[in-house]
Chain A
Amino acid sequence: MNKYEKAAAPAVALMLLAAGAIFLFAPTDSLQGPVQRIFYLHVSSAIAAYGCFAVVLLGGVIYLRNESLAADRLARAGALVGVVFTTVTLVMGMLWAKPIWGTFWTWDARLTSTLVLWIIYAGYLLVRRLAEPGRQGARFAAVVGIFGFIDVPVVHFSVTWWRTQHPGPVIINDALPPEMLATFLFTMACTLVLAAVMIAIRYRIETLADGSVPAVAEQASVVTTREPEPVQ
């Protein structure tokens, strides 16, 4: 068992504890019934996705400043894990919407902006896959990652900026009973730990994979080890 598998085991255990809190501790909502329990992981996944895309933003800014390959790898790792969590958010939200709104999907501001977020970072990953390894692709992806982050506050504040079918913020408005709030905060903490472990694993994969791609390995040697050429 390597150290990444050792880190994954407690992250999984925490998620199992969160599942216990969601299904055994949190009270059943009097209006929506058991389906309201989707809320805990749906919102936690959205917050984890915001965190992942903040990592992409940070990695992109650092890469554009000093061409750090580590920052570029971190951005790639954040984008992939962020797309996974955004997918969870979207699909769980659709499965929650059907019994409550009577439809899986409606083009309201929150849902549409979240779908746009998914498309932006899926596009980012596609750019990374299709572009030749090296500076050009990494620079372009960094710009996409930085500008793509503009959609994160749009998603977050869409429910206050526009009239939406999606409910507004319940956490900051004290709309949750204490047991529900405690369950949500615990689930969110566990989901953030899982996201961090996933990013760490993906970062390691990217690091090892970069070493086996000649163009990237050469770029790394240019950045880190090559001696300056003597001036004639």
Chain B
Amino acid sequence: MIYLASAYAFAVLLLGGYLAWSLRRLREVERKSER
């Protein structure tokens, strides 16, 4: 059970973290390009 939980925790952290980071980065780049 610990391996199942660890595997999905890792996937959620990496995929969710990457998605959140890229949306934040997009906002930053859009703000810069508007200036």
Report B1-35 CB contacts with A as 1/0, cut-off 8 Å: 10110111011001110110011011101101100
Residues of A within 8 A of B32 (CB): 208, 212
Residues of A within 8 A of B8 (CB): 19, 38, 41
Report A1-40 CB contacts with B as 1/0, cut-off 8 Å: 0101100100110010001000000000000001101100
Q: How far is the CA of A204 from the CA of B32 in the complex (A)?
A: 13
Residues of A within 8 A of B14 (CB): 84, 87-88, 91
Give the interface residue-count category, chain A: 35 or more
Residue with the greatest number of chain A CB neighbours at <10 A, chosen from B8, B10, B27: B8
* B21–chain A nearest beta-carbon distance, Å: 10
Contact assessment for B33 and A212 in the assembled complex, using a CB-CB cutoff below 8 Å = yes
Contact assessment for B26 and A201 in the assembled complex, using a CB-CB cutoff below 8 Å = yes
Contact assessment for B23 and A4 in the assembled complex, using a CB-CB cutoff below 8 Å = yes
Residues of B within 8 A of A4 (CB): 23, 26
Residues of B within 8 A of A42 (CB): 7
Residues of A within 8 A of B10 (CB): 88, 91-92, 95
- Does A99 have its Cβ within 8 Å of any Cβ on chain B? yes
Q: How far is the CA of A84 from the CA of B16 in the complex (A)?
A: 11
Q: How far is the CA of A28 from the CA of B33 in the complex (A)?
A: 51
Report A78-115 CB contacts with B as 1/0, cut-off 8 Å: 00000010011001100110110000000000000000
What 8 pairs between A and B have smallest CB-CB spacing?
Answer: A95-B7, A208-B29, A92-B7, A95-B3, A38-B7, A208-B33, A201-B22, A35-B4
